[in-house]
Amino acid sequence: MRAVAAAGADWIHFDVMDNHYVPNLTIGPMVCEAIRPHVELPIDVHLMVEPVDALIPMFAKAGANVITFHPEASRHVDRSLALIRDHGCQAGLVFNPATPLDWMDHVMDRLDLVLLMSVNPGFGGQSFLPSALDKLRQARARIDRWQAATGRAILLEIDGGVKTDNIAQIRAAGADTFVAGSAIFGKPDYAKVIAELRAQIAHGESSWA
């Protein structure tokens, strides 16, 4: 974590999987708490768990700055978002490739971030699904309409298969926040990869509409 922060990362993305909502088992609040003293960067906790509400206070206490969850995993999406914000964190919804964006329309006032999965959640190292680009454009349009009406911005994050060879397209489709896992941690020089990703984002910026 210290190395990737020194290499120029903006956030630490923290994937939590429960072997229930997704077919994998990863890390919990204790690991987040252990990481917290080593980085000053915001920790972006992505809950791939069901149910979600019991873990929200635990991750907030462990040092999370942003907490996102999948709407299908909560009985009451509005309540879960409110719980995240009540614990002092930014709140967001995560949309799987086949999850409709309609969920977000009813809770825009509680959202700080929308995260689109460009792979099916559960495992790292998967290839980017091209259909995510059109979904990004749709989400961007929704967010822009909301911002025009309210003056409040919502981040649009993408996660899954983000690499140097596709991040320009992803930026052009409207994403402004990017999760890169194996693209960075699979390479020996973190700073070089982050610099390449930023350069490609700048290329995509010019065609973002």
In a domain, 115, yes or no: yes
In a domain, 204, yes or no: no
Q: Convert the pLDDT of each residue in 74-101 to its tens digit.
A: 999 999 999 999 999 999 999 999 999 9
In a domain, 78, yes or no: yes
Of the chain, the percentage scoring pLDDT greater than 70 comes to 99
Structural domain boundaries, residue 61 = 2-162
- Measured distance CA(28)–CA(47) in Å, rounded: 10
In a domain, 188, yes or no: no
In a domain, 103, yes or no: yes
Instruction: Give me the pLDDT at residue 208, please.
Output: 57
The reply, when asked if residue 46 is annotated as ligand binding, is yes
Q: Which residue has the tokens 């919990």?
A: 28
CA atoms within 13 A on the CB side of 101: 17
In a domain, 192, yes or no: no
The reply, when asked if residue 102 is annotated as ligand binding, is no
Instruction: Give me the pLDDT at residue 72, please.
Output: 96
In a domain, 94, yes or no: yes
Q: Convert the pLDDT of each residue in 30-78 to its tens digit.
A: 999 999 999 999 999 999 999 999 999 999 999 999 999 999 999 999 9
Q: Convert the pLDDT of each residue in 109-148 to its tens digit.
A: 999 999 999 999 888 878 999 999 999 999 999 999 999 9
Q: What is the pTM of this model?
A: 0.96
The reply, when asked if residue 174 is annotated as ligand binding, is no
In a domain, 69, yes or no: yes
The reply, when asked if residue 182 is annotated as ligand binding, is yes
**In total, how many domains does the chain have?**
1
Provide the CATH number for the domain around residue 45.
Answer: 3.20.20.70
E strands within 6-106?
12-17, 43-48, 66-69, 90-95
Q: Return the structure tokens found at 74.
A: 């909560």
- How many angstroms from the chain centroid is the CA of residue 137? 16
**Which residues are known catalytic residues?**
15, 159
